[in-house]
């Protein structure tokens, strides 16, 4: 895997990965990958990330069932950011049960936020049904 040598890893040996829905073009989430998670993502065609809070590898959807299937992986001009085009399960990416993690719209004055996306499935239902 030549690509692993091309990537400019940050000081924690991670690269940021933007996840975009291949069909709707909606940006769903941003997460981090280390070498192992990128390798597994390429080999298996499912998104694996490195959890900085839990300090472990995770398969996106391992608990929720909302696996992200990889259609295309793109690297940016500086070789320090990835963009993954994915197909989702049930159109849900966020742990809150929304399609996208980016559901808080900042108002023009910077003072308050609107929630612009509805919850498609409650977290209680997601994590009870899928475990």
Residues that bind a second copy (CB under 8 A): 1-4, 6, 16, 18, 20, 25-27, 29-30, 39, 42-43, 72-79, 81, 83, 94-96, 98, 101-106, 108-113, 116
Task: State the nearest-atom distance from the C-beta of 81 to a second copy, in Å.
Answer: 5
> Taking the alpha carbons of 15, 73, 41, 71 in that order, is the dihedral positive or negative?
positive
What is the SS3 assignment for 42? helix
Question: Which H helix or E strand runs over 130?
Answer: helix 123-130
Complex with a second copy: residue 6 or 128, whichever CB lies closer: 6
Task: State the nearest-atom distance from the C-beta of 72 to a second copy, in Å.
Answer: 6
- CB neighbour list of residue 77: distance below 8 Å, 6 or more residues apart: none
Task: State the nearest-atom distance from the C-beta of 121 to a second copy, in Å.
Answer: 15
């Amino acid at each position: 895997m030549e690509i692993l040598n091309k990537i400019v890893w940050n000081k924690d040996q991670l690269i940021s990965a933007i996840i975009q829905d291949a069909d709707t073009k909606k940006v769903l989430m941003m997460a981090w990958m280390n070498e192992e998670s990128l390798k597994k993502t390429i080999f298996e065609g499912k998104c694996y990330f490195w959890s900085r809070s839990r300090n472990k590898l995770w398969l996106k959807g391992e608990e929720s069932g909302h696996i992200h299937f990889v259609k295309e992986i793109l690297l940016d001009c500086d070789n320090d950011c990835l963009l993954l085009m994915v197909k989702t399960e049930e159109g849900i990416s966020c742990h809150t049960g929304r399609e996208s993690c980016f559901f808080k719209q900042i108002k023009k004055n910077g003072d308050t936020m609107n929630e612009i996306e509805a919850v498609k499935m409650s977290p209680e239902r997601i994590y009870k049904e899928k475990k």
